[in-house]
Amino acid sequence: MYKRYWFILALLVICSPLGLLANGTAWGEWDRQDLKETLGYVPQGLEQLSNRWQAIFPDYNIHFLGEGTLSSFAGYILSALIGSLLVYTLILFIAKRLFPVRNKQACSDK
């Protein structure tokens, strides 16, 4: 059963570059300039944080691969993998904190 979930997750990761086919920007991926054009202003908190945070893969490009399509595809896939692993790790951490295994022998008998 779990193999099916991993297969679905892998399929979604591989399909993540389909976002390159869309026009415009994805929801929530706006920079200061996009917000200024859309809203007419940039919220103060975002303005302050924008100088502190730099994306690991700006615009989903892996710069050592160049600026072409391959770089964008690899950036989308790598970002999806990293995001999936972070979410999986966070869920696993929370689950282990909420539901600790008290009797390990009882679990191994199943």
Q: What is the pLDDT of residues 62-72, one digit of tens each?
A: 777 777 778 88
pLDDT single digits (tens) 74-96:
888 888 899 899 999 999 999 98
More confident residue, 85 or 28: 85
- CA dihedral of residues 19, 20, 25, 29 (deg, nearest 10): 60
pLDDT at 104: 59
Expressed as residue numbers, the domain containing 34 is 2-108
Residues comprising the chain, all counted: 110
**CA distance readout (Å), 13 to 37, 76, 77, 79:** 31, 8, 6, 9
The chain-wide mean pLDDT, for the chain, equals 81
Domain total in the chain: 1
